[in-house]
């Protein structure tokens, strides 16, 4: 059947429907205002099932809307992703009925604080099976399992996101509007065949995530940072800032935190450099980990923090709690945004100042972004050696420039030279990390801060990534960290504390 025939058949069907149904009947756009319309969503296939532009059956023609005109002008991948939302789920009516029956059957049990998550999940799934069996519909075992899983995911979790949250190989989930979801796997981003029912379904999911930790997102405050119970970091943006629908980005956090052996296995760092970092942490050197967005700074910070001795008191400060330290004496603090009246904000700077009164052996700041940089430098310069933090930057030198800029954000009128002297005195080592073109995260610089010359902070690279090694047949970088042949000035400091470093570690490998 050609396109003209399909359009004619569709018009005939629509006219017939207009005469045989009243206005309360559901349309292809889902029942307006129906709280159960979430289950009109398209089927959620496996992660590898990305629909083909040539082999997929053509959807029935729909009225041309403003959104349709916009998406028709988008690139092929975006168009394919958005068109998925127009495929009607054949099990939508059954799922609506099942969902309503679950609410009627369990009712307040769904919100019983005395019931743990595992017990609630078991209860919901048992009830789902009973309700589905009562449905007067011919369903295969696979269909029953699919309906059970999708309704359970909606009630117990975050709907269409749940399969990706459970997949340990996925590190990031990106939702660009209700009908476009991407995931990052092995450092590469791929579209997936999953979608929310509509914008309201996506907004309800966002509200569910941020409401669980006492935060809000609305037109007055359309951007919010949050976290999932497992520690995964969440950022949500809604209208009017988000022009094409709400956006949700989830950076998953490993259930079991990576160890230094994991980073060596990934090629992020070499074993000799890992031993050097361990010695520097035990030697109470102040370390700044820099890198771009998604380069793995927090993961490296978490691993490097594991070198802190067990008998030390560690105070951590984060905007969204992500660090997973296994030492016994760890005190964690998290900043807080203002409430709807604009009151009650607690900044990272407030927490750094407060941490100085908590008798810390180490202060670890998840990321310095603002005036907290000044308080962090002052802490490092007033006896709190061994502090660790991260910062967004493109290179070790750029990290110092950004640090200077953030100190100025504290509102203190300090000359540039005074700020640089503070930084040169406070910092001992910069570990710079990058996400390379092949998707891998690699430490590319181990750089020592050696002091000041005139108005410039002096640096010397101890190890750099060997880009000259090129790439293999798969496009993966062959290079690794190699020594520049420069012996660091801090070696004597480590030796004075009885922490040896192999003499041949710094032999020139270039």
Task: Quick: pLDDT tens for 361-394.
Answer: 999 999 998 899 999 999 999 889 999 999 999 9
Average pLDDT over residues 434-451: 95
- Do 142 and 173 fall within a single domain? yes
Q: Give the pLDDT confidence score for residue 338 in this predicted structure.
A: 82
Let me know if residue 8 belongs to a domain.
no
So what's the pLDDT on residue 61?
43
Domain extent, residue 187, equals 30-50+75-251
Answer yes or no: do 336 and 484 share one domain.
yes
- Taking the C-alpha atoms of residue 396 and residue 116, their distance in angstroms, rounded to an integer, is 47
Can you give the pLDDT at residue 122?
Answer: 80
Residue 200 has pLDDT above 60, yes or no: yes
Q: Quick one: average pLDDT of 309-318?
A: 96
Q: Does some domain include residue 16?
A: no
Q: What is the mean pLDDT of the chain?
A: 81
Question: 43: Cβ–Cβ under 8 A, 6 or more apart, which residues?
Answer: 87, 89, 91, 146
What's the pLDDT at 111? 67
Number of structural domains the chain divides into? 2
For the cut 50, the answer to whether the pLDDT of residue 78 exceeds it is no
Q: Flag whether pLDDT at 426 surpasses 80.
A: yes
Q: Which of 251, 276, 296 is the last residue of a domain?
A: 251
Check if the beta carbon of residue 386 is closer than 8 Å to that of residue 362: yes
Average pLDDT over residues 260-289: 96
Q: How many CB atoms lie within 10 A of CB 326?
A: 11
So what's the pLDDT on residue 68?
44
456-503 pLDDT, tens digit per residue, is 999 999 999 999 999 999 889 999 999 999 999 999 999 999 998 877
pLDDT of residue 191: 95
CB of 18 closer than 8 Å to CB of 69: no
Same structural domain, 355 and 489: yes
Does the structure show a pLDDT above 70 at 62?
no
Claim to verify: residue 165 and residue 195 sit in the same structural domain: yes
**With 70 as the cut, is the pLDDT of residue 9 above it?**
no
Does 227 lie in the same domain as 361? no
Residue 55 lies in a domain: no
In a domain, 68, yes or no: no
Most confident of 125-129, 341-345, 357-361: 357-361
CA 158 to chain centre: 15
24 assigned to some structural domain? no
pLDDT band at 113 (very low <50, low <70, confident <90, very high): low
**Which has more pLDDT, 322 or 264?**
264
- Give 56's contacts (C-beta < 8 A, 6+ positions apart): none
From 508, 464, 462, select the one nearest 485 (Cα to Cα). 508
97 part of a folded domain: yes
Q: How confident is the model at residue 127 (pLDDT cuts 50, 70, 90)?
A: confident
Q: Alpha-carbon distance 234 to 207, whole Å?
A: 12
Last residue of one domain, picked from the residues 223, 251, 279: 251
Are 169 and 265 part of one and the same domain? no
What is the CATH number for 338? 3.40.50.300
Here the CATH number for the domain that contains residue 86 is: 3.30.450.380
Cα torsion angle, 199, 200, 202, 207, sign: positive
Residue 294 domain-assigned (yes or no): yes
The answer, yes or no, to whether residue 6 has pLDDT greater than 60, is no
Statement to judge: residues 274 and 423 lie in one domain: yes
Quickly count helices (H) and strands (E) in the chain.
16, 15
* The pLDDT of residue 89: 63
Question: Minimum mean pLDDT among 80-94, 135-149, 212-226, 254-268: which range?
Answer: 80-94
Per residue in 136-162, pLDDT (tens digit) is 667 777 887 887 788 888 888 898 999
Tell me if residue 283 falls in helix, strand or coil. Answer: coil
State the pLDDT at residue 75.
Answer: 39
Question: Tell me, what's the pLDDT at 136?
Answer: 64
Find the range with the poorest average confidence among 199-203, 266-270, 340-344: 340-344
Whole-number percent of the chain with pLDDT over 90: 52
Q: Are residues 219 and 277 in the same domain?
A: no
pLDDT at residue 107, as a whole number = 73
| Predicted pLDDT at 510 | 66
pLDDT higher for 93 or 305? 305
User: Do 103 and 210 lie in a common domain?
Assistant: yes
Q: What is the CA radius of gyration of the chain?
A: 27
Is 387:379 a contact under the CB 8 Å cutoff?
yes
Answer yes or no: do 287 and 212 share one domain: no
Residues 10-40: tens digit of each pLDDT: 444 444 444 444 443 343 443 333 333 443 3
- Give the count of beta carbons closer than 10 Å to the beta carbon of residue 346: 14
Contact predicate 279/308, CB 8 Å: no
pLDDT, average across residues 71-89: 44
**229-257 per-position pLDDT tens digit:** 888 889 999 999 999 999 999 998 877 88
pLDDT in tens, 403-418: 999 999 998 889 999 9
On whether both 336 and 455 belong to a single domain, the answer is: yes
Are 231 and 315 in a shared domain?
Answer: no
Question: Percent of the chain, pLDDT > 70?
Answer: 80
pTM (global) more than 0.85: no
Look at residue 300 and tell me if it is in a domain.
yes
Give the model's pLDDT for residue 112: 64
Q: Which of 212, 230, 251 finishes a domain?
A: 251
**With contact defined as beta carbons under 8 Å apart, do 343 and 321 qualify?**
no
- Of the listed ranges 123-132, 190-199, 306-315, the one predicted with least confidence: 123-132
């Amino acid at each position: 059947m050609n396109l003209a025939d399909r359009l004619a058949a569709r018009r005939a069907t629509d006219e017939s429907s207009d005469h045989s149904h009243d206005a309360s009947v559901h349309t292809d756009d889902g029942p307006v205002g129906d709280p159960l319309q979430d289950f009109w969503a398209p089927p959620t296939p496996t992660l590898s099932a990305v629909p083909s532009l040539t082999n997929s059956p053509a959807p029935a023609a729909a009225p041309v809307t403003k959104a349709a005109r916009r998406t028709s002008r988008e690139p092929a991948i975006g168009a394919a992703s958005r068109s998925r939302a127009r495929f009607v789920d054949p099990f939508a009516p059954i799922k609506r009925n099942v969902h309503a029956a679950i609410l009627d059957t369990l009712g307040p049990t769904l919100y019983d604080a005395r019931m743990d998550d595992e017990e609630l999940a078991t209860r919901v799934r048992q009830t789902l099976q009973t309700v589905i069996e009562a449905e007067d519909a011919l369903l295969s075992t696979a269909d029953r399992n699919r309906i059970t899983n999708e309704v359970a995911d909606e009630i117990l979790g975050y709907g269409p996101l749940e399969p990706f949250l459970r997949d340990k190989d996925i590190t990031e989930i990106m939702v660009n509007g209700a009908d476009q979801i991407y995931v990052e796997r092995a450092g590469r981003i791929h579209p997936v065949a999953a979608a929310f029912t509509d914008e309201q379904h996506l907004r309800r999911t966002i509200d569910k995530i941020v409401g669980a930790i006492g935060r809000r997102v609305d037109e007055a405050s359309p951007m919010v940072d949050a976290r999932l119970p497992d520690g995964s970091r969440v950022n949500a943006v809604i209208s009017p800032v988000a022009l094409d629908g709400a956006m949700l980005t989830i950076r998953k956090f490993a259930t079991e935190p990576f160890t230094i052996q994991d980073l060596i296995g990934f090629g992020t760092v070499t074993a000799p450099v890992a031993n050097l970092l361990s010695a520097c942490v035990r030697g109470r050197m102040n370390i700044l980990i820099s890198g771009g967005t998604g380069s793995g700074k927090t993961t490296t910070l978490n691993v490097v923090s594991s070198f802190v001795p067990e008998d030390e008191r560690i105070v951590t400060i984060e905007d969204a709690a992500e660090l997973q330290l296994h030492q016994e004496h760890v005190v964690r603090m998290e900043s807080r945004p203002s409430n709807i009246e604009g009151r009650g904000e607690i900044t990272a700077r407030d927490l750094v100042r407060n941490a100085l009164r908590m008798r810390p052996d180490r202060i670890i700041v998840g990321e310095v972004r603002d005036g907290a940089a000044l308080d962090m430098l002052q802490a490092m310069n007033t006896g709190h050696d061994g502090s660790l933090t991260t910062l967004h930057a493109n290179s070790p030198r750029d990290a110092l420039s950004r640090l200077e800029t953030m100190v100025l954000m504290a509102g203190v009128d300090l000359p540039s030279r005074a700020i640089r002297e503070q930084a040169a005195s406070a910092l001992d080592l910069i570990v710079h990390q990058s996400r390379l073109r092949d998707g891998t995260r690699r430490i590319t610089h181990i750089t020592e801060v050696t002091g000041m010359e005139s108005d410039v902070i002096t640096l010397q690279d101890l190890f750099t990534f060997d880009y000259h090694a090129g790439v293999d047949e798969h496009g993966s970088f062959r290079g690794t960290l190699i020594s520049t042949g420069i012996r660091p000035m801090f070696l004597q400091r480590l030796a004075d504390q009885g922490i040896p470093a192999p003499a041949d570690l710094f032999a020139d490998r270039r």
